[in-house]
Amino acid sequence: MMEIGVSPGRTSYRRGRQADAVVEDTRCAVAELIGVPDPSSISFTSNATHALNVAIRGSLREGDHAVTSDREHNSVLRPLEDLRRTGACVYSVVRSDPRGEVDLDAYRKEVRRGCQLMVINHASNVTGAVSPLSELADIAHEYDVPILVDASQTAGLLDIDVEALGIDLLALTGHKSLRGPSGTGVLYVRRPEKVRALFTGGSGTNSQSLRHPAMSPAKFEAGTPNYLGIAGLGAVVRTLTPQRIREDRKQVMAVSDYCLERLRSVAGVTVYDVAPNVARVPVISITMAGLYSGELSALLDERYGVMTRAGLHCAPLIHETLGTTPHGTLRISMGVSTTRSDVDVLVEGLASIEETTVRGMKTP
């Protein structure tokens, strides 16, 4: 803002060109991060929800059928439900087992019945279970169905190579493991001609035409972009070399494993862990008998300064699978700055709440 302070893509004066360069550098850095050979297939959006809406609503046509999973966030489920309610499309939900195991045959069956889009979460934001992306992409491609991946929980944490996996569309958010500014998102579209633009308007190019540009990224970037957010996203993504991602992942998963181990011994706590053969990201859901997750979260914050999130985490269907509807779970998320002593404070806090508040409550 201080050094450039003008909009990108609209002017040819020097600062305008500098602003363009910031946006294009970020585009290249993001493309490299997720294995995209052509940076122009990366568009900036205001968040993952925006990217998922463009991908879902822009890909599906009247009468189409989509297949998705019970691990999805509402940013996938609500656009699909909206299309269903207006009579435009139908969708089926393939359930996983409570420990994150995926029935690949169930997906194959749905896809074989005739389907135009598979929408899959790379990792659940409730249980942390990682989806078998490569196997699911193989099924989709066997039947020539495009696959849309919601990588909101994994970008910057797990290796993603859209080219190697043959992913057709991918959405991600800037503010999670990428550690970028909130209000930034990315949409990757392999074949822009197959996806309608949800928004049309100013693009800074070909302005004599009343038709919005058909080429990516302009096709999916109507209006002035969040230039500051994109600059911030670029600054952080450039630091995320494959080696740094690997090292950070090792560190955060070690803390997360330690947390899981310690949580198992806290009285009254149920841990919604994944099966040993299912990979996971560092989010853990728990409940404590005798307390709603919202109450537990408030006590952890008030008494121990531990911030956790409570409820359904915008992913209602996975709670039906886990049996945690309607109150949801307490979710513990760890990042690179989380330490074992942070985990100790959490676990000791939980043990003390169980002893004093839950058991205290039971005593007349």
Ligand X SMILES: Cc1ncc(COP(=O)(O)O)c(C=O)c1O
Please give the residue ranges that form the binding site for ligand X (CB under 6 A): 47-49, 73, 75, 121, 125, 150, 152-153, 173, 185
Our CB check for ligand X shows the closer of 79 and 213 to be: 79
Our CB check for ligand X shows the closer of 249 and 331 to be: 331
Our CB check for ligand X shows the closer of 203 and 293 to be: 293
Which of 145, 141, 222, 150 minimizes the C-alpha distance to 185? 150
Query: Nearest distance from residue 22's CB to ligand X, in Å?
Result: 21
Query: Nearest distance from residue 148's CB to ligand X, in Å?
Result: 12
Query: Nearest distance from residue 341's CB to ligand X, in Å?
Result: 27
Query: Nearest distance from residue 172's CB to ligand X, in Å?
Result: 8
**12 Cβ partners below 8 Å, 6+ apart?**
none
Our CB check for ligand X shows the closer of 168 and 354 to be: 168
- The answer to whether residues 96 and 321 touch, using CB atoms and an 8 Å cutoff, is yes
Our CB check for ligand X shows the closer of 121 and 293 to be: 121
Our CB check for ligand X shows the closer of 53 and 338 to be: 53
Q: Could you identify the residue written with the tokens 């100013």?
A: 202
> Which tokens sit at 315?
């992913």
Which of 33, 32, 1, 30 minimizes the C-alpha distance to 18? 1
> Which tokens sit at 56?
């879902």
Query: Nearest distance from residue 216's CB to ligand X, in Å?
Result: 20
Cα–Cα distance measured from residue 132 to residue 334, given in angstroms and rounded to the nearest whole number: 22
**162 Cβ partners below 8 Å, 6+ apart?**
34, 35, 36, 149, 170, 188, 190
Query: Nearest distance from residue 76's CB to ligand X, in Å?
Result: 7
Cα–Cα distance measured from residue 202 to residue 212, given in angstroms and rounded to the nearest whole number: 8
Q: Could you identify the residue written with the tokens 């879902």?
A: 56
Query: Nearest distance from residue 150's CB to ligand X, in Å?
Result: 5
For 48, the 3-state DSSP assignment is helix
Our CB check for ligand X shows the closer of 203 and 226 to be: 226
Region of residue 219 (phi > 0: left; psi between -120 and 50: alpha; otherwise: beta): alpha
